[in-house]
Amino acid sequence: MNTETLHPSNQLFIPRWLNRGEITVDPFPFQEEFPLSLKYKEVSKKNIKEKGIAEAFHHSELKELCFFIRRP
């Protein structure tokens, strides 16, 4: 993704994982820190080979990763 359109001076954003639950973004483009959650599925290569990708995805467990976007 090209972040240049999101920052008026065309400066790139630098994200950094502090730990499993916190990310910083520099420069900080938001007014305040906030929680964020991402839902995802892990699909094993073994299941893809056995069932095909659509079926393997359908039967995979939905997981959620929760973290905070923090000021640097």
pLDDT tens digits, one per residue of 36-54:
999 999 999 999 999 999 9
Split into its structural domains, the chain has a count of 1
Domain hosting 40: range is: 3-70
Confidence of residue 12 (pLDDT cuts 50, 70, 90): confident
**Residues sharing a CB contact under 8 Å with residue 43, sequence separation 6 or more, in sequence order:** 53, 56, 57, 60
pLDDT tens digits, one per residue of 16-36:
999 999 999 999 989 999 999
Q: Is the pLDDT of residue 7 over 90?
A: no
For position 10, what pLDDT does the model report? 72
